[in-house]
Chains A and B, each alone.
Chain A
């Protein structure tokens, strides 16, 4: 049985890769995929603690988190399509209408 540390470390590394992606990429769809990666890495933490403590509630929270991620993906991609229709681009440096 692998110690809990390693699952938490894997989760932290995946989360930070997602953060780097959000900070450096300019394509809105890739930024969105990095956000999904971050959601996923937190799910690993929840499942690891749930398995370690023998408590089923953590896995149920992951179940709800999956449902919310699915809803978020549908709405977010619809917003990206709407932005693309107005700007003809998903480059976030060109979406600067509300920028000061």
Chain B
């Protein structure tokens, strides 16, 4: 059962990613990315990381994608020409470079002989909110608070960058 679920989520994630790269319309790319994020959340569930799966759907599938769609709506971008109509040498080079890197990565993964220790099944229940929060609020308390400051700084910076400055235009 887990194998079929993994195949389903993996195929869905890869198909949505490919569709995101080759679709002409920007809004379609964003919606395919949402499907990809949901499939990745399913993969997290298979790995027994329940908390991260929920956070993935909330933060990536919800907050970040709403931000993307809002910006696309705000800028009102036209569809660009299809990738296959404007074929050039650069695309071919990029494609073959990427395939070479992928082949190397897959070769390394396939040649890996399992040197990691095998954990007993009862230790695998680590993805719960309880287990994560236990570490997060003791060992990682300072990085957690720094993350809060980082998010505040990012929001202030984003508002400053995106605001309309009238005095610049009049000059």
- Which chain A residues have a beta carbon within 8 Å of chain B's beta carbons? 1-2, 4-10, 12-21, 23-27, 29-30, 32-34, 36-37, 40, 43-44, 47-48, 50-57, 59-60, 62-64, 66-75, 77-82, 84-85, 90-91
Contacts and interface: CB of A to CB of B under 8 A. Distances in A.
| B interface majority secondary structure | helix
Contacts of B17: 14, 17-18, 37
| Top 3 A-B residue pairs of the complex, sorted by shortest distance between their CB atoms | A71-B154, A23-B94, A54-B123
B151 A71 contact: yes
B20 A2 contact: no
Interface of B: 2-3, 6, 10, 13-14, 17-18, 20-21, 26, 29-30, 33, 36-37, 40, 43-44, 46-49, 51-52, 55-56, 59-60, 63-64, 67-68, 71-72, 74-75, 77, 80, 83, 90-91, 94-95, 97-99, 101-102, 105-106, 109-110, 112, 114, 116-117, 119-120, 123-124, 126-127, 131-132, 135-136, 140, 143, 147, 150-151, 153-155, 157-162, 164
B101 A19 contact: yes
Contacts of B132: 56, 59-60, 63
A34 B17 CA distance: 9
